[in-house]
Amino acid sequence: MTSSREPAGDPTESAGDVPAATPVKSRVRDRIFETACDLFYQHGIRDVGVDQIATEAGTNKMSFYRSFASKDELVAEYLQQKASEFWTWWDETLRQHAGDPRRQILALFEGISEMVCSVRSRGCALANAAVELAEEEHPGRQVVLAKKREMRRRFRELAVAAGASAPDELGDALMLLMEGSYLSRLTLSSQGPARHVGPVVLRLLECYLPEA
């Protein structure tokens, strides 16, 4: 539920007592960005406007447009951060099982199942955005497409490293399972198919990979 509080004044108007190392303008921008990220993820990009973001951030539209040239620019930055967070998680998951691509694949899906079934999960922020941002030229859509292409490449790369008999086919199947896990969270909640994606992936690997 969003707040109904009135927007506070722009702190950039009285910044005299703020240390130079942490400019108020930067702090206002951060607050706007963090507020927008939460609103976009919980309520969708199209349903959240600049006025709501500014109000929830405790500032005003003037401060918003001092920080971001447009809502589209903010959306693209939000999606870029979500993509960066995902790749950080991905790389750390693989690092924990370095040299064992089969185990790396399983670990990715164990992690996805846990994340997708969490209470606050609303699926994949980028996949959700792809549905809302139909315009091919939208900067946010470009971020989504880049991330999804990279995910496909990485899954195929893992399939090759694992010695799959048809690595491109296995890589695409793994991507479909991950994307489907996110989507099923939105339609069937945490009790949906995402709960069982780990065992399904294990059976899939048994079909494509040589015996361990």
Can you give the length of the chain in residues?
Answer: 212
User: Looking at residue 3, what is its pLDDT?
Assistant: 40
Higher pLDDT, 24 or 60: 60
Tokens of 92: 């750390």
With cut-offs at 50, 70 and 90, classify the pLDDT of residue 182: confident
Q: CB of 15 within 8 A of CB of 59?
A: no
For 99-108, how does the pLDDT look when each residue is reduced to its tens digit (9 = 90+)? 999 999 999 9
Sequence-ordered list of residues with C-beta below 8 angstroms from that of 196, at least 6 positions apart, any chain: none
Domains observed in the chain: 22-67 (1.10.10.60), 71-208 (1.10.357.10)
The conformation of residue 193, written as its DSSP 8-state character, comes to G
Tokens of 65: 């447009």
Please state, rounded to an integer, the average pLDDT across all residues of the chain.
87
